[in-house]
Each structure stands twice: as C-alpha cells, then as structure tokens.
C-alpha cells in the first residue's frame, strides 16, 4: 500500500506584527555590534529555517567584515585582533527527532560555513555546559581583552531569556537568582537588558534583546506558511490567527512527519486511524475530552485550542520521539533513522521538524534497505531543502515580495524627498 500524498490546507494571508520596540532594536543593532564579541543567535529547532531573521543579516555581515573576516572566503579571517564569532543555537532540541540533528548540522555547515551551529535545550545540562565552555574558550583565545561581550538575538519566543538563565546558573557557582523574566507568550523582553555575568574567570557578559519578527512575512503561499508556522510555536502574538486554522496546519504537518502513527493518535480513542479531515478529527477529540457547549453540541473551537496547546508541550515531545517514518519504529531513543517497512510499502512524503519535507522514491527505499547509510541520504535531502529555501528568500528579495506595500510607499516618499532636496541644493 502506498500512502497518498498529503496536500496542505489553504492558509490565510500572513498578518503583520512588528511593534515599535522591534523597530527600535533593529535600528540600534549596528551600534550594539561595535561593542559585541560574540553574537549568539537563537532559533527554534522546529523551525530551523523559518526562525532565521533575514532583516538582521545585513548588520551581522557588516560587523564580520569590520572585524577582519575575508569577504570572499567566509571561513578565513584576515585580521583577528578581537573576538568575532557568530554562533547559532537551535534551541528546544527535545521537540525534534534526534535522528535529524546531525544530518542537519552537516548540511548547514556546507551552506553556511561561517556559522558555528549547535543544538541545545535548557533542560539538558550537557548542552548548556557545552555552550558555556564554547564561550569561555573564545574568551581565553583573546586574553588581552578584559571581558567577552555576548549579544543574544533571535525571533520572539525562541527561548533566549530561558537559555541565558541556564547559562548563568551553569557558569556562576553557588546559588544564583533567576536573571530574566520568561513567558510562554512572545514579546516579554522589549528592551536591551542590563549586562548578565555568565563567567567569572574569564569574564563573560551577555545582553538579552527583544525578540524581533520580520517586518513583513511575505506574499503568496510562502508568506502564508511562514506566518502559520511562527504562530504555531507561539512566536506571533496570540489572537492574530484563528485556532482552527492553526489546528488544520498542525494536523497536516503531523501527518507528514509520521503518516502511519502520527502523535495526535494519543489524544483519540484506542484503535483510531490517522485522518486528514480537520472536522472529523476535532469531532473525535471533543467527544473524547467531553467538550460540550450549550445545547449538547460539541465544542470544536475549544478542541482546536486544546490540540494546538497540547502540541506545544506534551505533543511536541511525543512527535519528536518517533523514528524515521518509513513504517513504524518503536525505538524512541534512536539517534539515526530506522527502517522497518516491507518492500513496496512506504509513505511518499518525509519530514523533519516543520521546515523540512521531501519525497522518497521506491528505489531510494530499496537502496536504504540494501545497506546504504541513511544519515547520508537524509543529509542530502536536507541540503536540497536548504538550497530551495535560500533560492526562495533570494527570489523574494529580488522581486520585493518580502516588502509590504506600506514599506514600498514609505521608501518611494523618502526617495522623492531626497531627490527634491538634492535638486534644491544644486541650484
């Protein structure tokens, strides 16, 4: 039996959410980088590509060039008088399957060799210790500097403040108070923090910064999907999306990630089968949970809210515990893809996290069952997904699909005023 190709639901136009404190920090960033030694960019492991904030990349590129990195070779540094490192931390690693982390790291290293990438979770002391040691080692490589200053950036609700609290607790011995307030809702941090000491010897300080959303999420299908993904991880202000819309996309993604035994089956009655119909799923869920409105009607809206919030916590862990979705893998601790499907039975679509999706052909299944290293194939598929993402974002930029009509009008007005001023000065 060949499983059907899963089609995504129709998504609404992505809303714009870019409060004033985000704009203020974006304008401050170039000045902040002049006194920064390490940029610690936090992304969400479930959205390793979507949680890249492209609007900050120009300032980071200029910072690297000013600190002596070769513009033609991003891995070569011409002048190394002071520290200048860009470290990308894929946070919340416990919410993605472990088998994909190493292939993803290798795939990203090929495309972005100037970035040091690692996975982390504040709940795993080994990850926090590893990150703390990296920062301390960078400081020791520049003993002439009195201190190492770390700037932590990223989109809203990717876990910046929580990770910094864990780093402080790891680096400062003895009882340390919680340094920053944290929240499950985006936008808690709205201003640059005071310096937080992460290490005493050598001295390492960090600044927490406001989560910065893209000013405009984009047009068409790409922009709509980008918005819905960020809303699902609570990266966009609550209420900007209808919960049933989020539930529809979540149902689709969980079916992609594991079409044979998706994680949501834990919410339904025993012996339930996977479904692609949102109304059918929410009806079964409301019945199971006893969600009844007045008039003995099932409360599907409440069921949708429950489904999304369940996935953000327990459901994400369940989804991450599954193996590679060719057949059913009962080894939840596997760190490499497991293949158990008999010949001729395979799902046509594979996925990892919410940003990676690829087709798997019958001959590729046969090759894997013949002994070819599955990690190599997964890395190859991920490299293609990353390349597609880069091409898509480059195309959006060249066609100005990543700029709203309001931004275009403001820019034209600014250019017209500048032209008139120059004309007036020439007289």
Burial class (CB in 10 A: 0-12, 13-18, 19+), 272: middle
Residue-level pLDDT at 38? 96
Average model confidence (pLDDT) across the chain: 84
Residue-level pLDDT at 203? 94
Cα angle, residue 149 at apex, residues 146 and 154 outer, rounded to 5°: 175
Judged by average pLDDT, the poorest of 20-34, 167-181, 260-274, 322-336 is 322-336
Half-sphere exposure of 152 (CA within 13 A, CB side): 35
Q: Is the pLDDT of residue 44 over 90?
A: yes
Residue-level pLDDT at 102? 93
Give mean pLDDT, residues 285-294. 93
Residue-level pLDDT at 282? 96
Residue-level pLDDT at 349? 76
Residue-level pLDDT at 370? 58
Give mean pLDDT, residues 234-258. 91
Residue-level pLDDT at 122? 87
Q: Distance between CA 137 and CA 218 in Å, rounded?
A: 40
- According to DSSP H, which parts of 321-404 are helical? 362-369, 374-398
Judged by average pLDDT, the poorest of 40-49, 219-228, 405-414 is 405-414
pLDDT band at 343 (very low <50, low <70, confident <90, very high): very low
Sign of CA dihedral 125, 313, 116, 357: positive
Residue-level pLDDT at 340? 38
% of the chain beyond a pLDDT of 90: 49
pLDDT band at 367 (very low <50, low <70, confident <90, very high): low
Q: Is the pLDDT of residue 12 over 70?
A: yes
Q: What would the pLDDT profile of 81-91 be if each residue is shown by its tens digit?
A: 899 999 999 99
Residue-level pLDDT at 382? 95
DSSP code of residue 172: S
Q: What would the pLDDT profile of 156-213 be if each residue is shown by its tens digit?
A: 989 898 899 899 988 887 665 555 555 555 545 655 767 889 999 999 999 988 888 8
Top mean pLDDT of 103-112, 164-173, 348-357, 406-415 is at 103-112
Q: Is the pLDDT of residue 310 over 80?
A: yes
With tokens 């489904």, the residue in question is 307
Give mean pLDDT, residues 268-295. 93
Domains of the chain in start order, with CATH, are 20-208 (3.40.50.300)
Name residues whose C-beta falls within 8 Å of residue 425's C-beta, 6 or more positions apart in sequence.
none
pLDDT band at 410 (very low <50, low <70, confident <90, very high): low
Query: Can you give the pTM of this predicted structure?
Result: 0.83
Q: What would the pLDDT profile of 203-240 be if each residue is shown by its tens digit?
A: 999 998 888 888 888 888 899 999 999 999 998 988 89
DSSP 26-89: HHHHHHHHTT-SEEEEEEETTSTTTT--GGGHHHHHHHHHHTTB-SS-TT-BS--SS--EEEEE
């Amino acid at each position: 039996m060949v499983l059907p190709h899963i089609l995504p639901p129709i998504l609404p136009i992505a809303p714009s959410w870019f409060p004033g404190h985000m704009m203020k920090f974006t304008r401050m960033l170039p000045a902040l980088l002049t006194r920064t030694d390490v940029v610690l960019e936090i992304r969400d492991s479930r959205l390793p590509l979507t949680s890249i904030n492209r609007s900050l990349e120009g300032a980071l590129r200029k910072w690297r060039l000013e600190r002596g990195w070769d513009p033609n070779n991003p891995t070569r540094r011409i002048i190394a008088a002071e520290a200048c490192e860009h470290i990308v931390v894929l946070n919340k690693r416990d919410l993605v399957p472990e088998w994909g982390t190493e292939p993803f790291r290798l795939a990203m290293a090929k495309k972005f060799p100037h970035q040091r990438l690692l996975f982390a979770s504040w709940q795993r002391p080994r990850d926090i210790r590893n990150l703390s040691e990296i920062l301390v080692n960078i400081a020791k490589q520049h003993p002439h500097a009195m201190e190492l200053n770390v700037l932590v950036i990223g989109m809203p609700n990717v876990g910046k403040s929580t990770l910094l609290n864990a780093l402080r607790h790891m680096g400062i011995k003895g009882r340390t108070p919680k340094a920053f307030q944290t929240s499950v809702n985006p936008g808690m941090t709205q201003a640059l923090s005071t310096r937080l000491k992460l290490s005493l010897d050598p001295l390492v300080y960090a600044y927490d910064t406001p989560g910065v959303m893209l000013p405009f999420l984009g047009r068409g299908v790409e922009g709509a999907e980008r918005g819905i993904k960020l809303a699902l991880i609570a990266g966009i202000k609550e209420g900007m999306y209808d919960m049933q819309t989020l539930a529809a996309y979540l149902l689709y993604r969980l079916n992609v990630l594991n079409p044979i035994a998706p994680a949501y089956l834990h919410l339904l009655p025993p012996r339930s089968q996977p479904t692609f119909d949102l109304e059918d799923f929410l009806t079964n869920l409301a019945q199971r949970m006893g969600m009844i409105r007045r008039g003995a009607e099932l409360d599907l809206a409440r069921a949708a809210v429950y489904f999304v919030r369940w996935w953000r916590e327990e459901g994400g862990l369940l989804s991450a515990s599954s193996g590679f979705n060719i057949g059913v893998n009962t080894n939840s601790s596997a760190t490499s893809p497991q293949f158990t499907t008999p010949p001729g039975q395979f799902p046509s679509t594979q996925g990892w996290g919410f940003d990676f999706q690829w087709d798997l052909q019958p001959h590729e299944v046969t090759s894997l069952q013949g002994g070819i290293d599955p990690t190599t194939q997964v890395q190859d598929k991920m490299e293609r997904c990353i390349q597609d993402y880069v091409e898509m974002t480059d195309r959006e930029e060249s066609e100005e699909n990543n700029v709203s009509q309001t931004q275009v009008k403001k820019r034209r007005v600014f250019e017209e005023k500048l032209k008139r001023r120059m004309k007036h000065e020439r007289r």
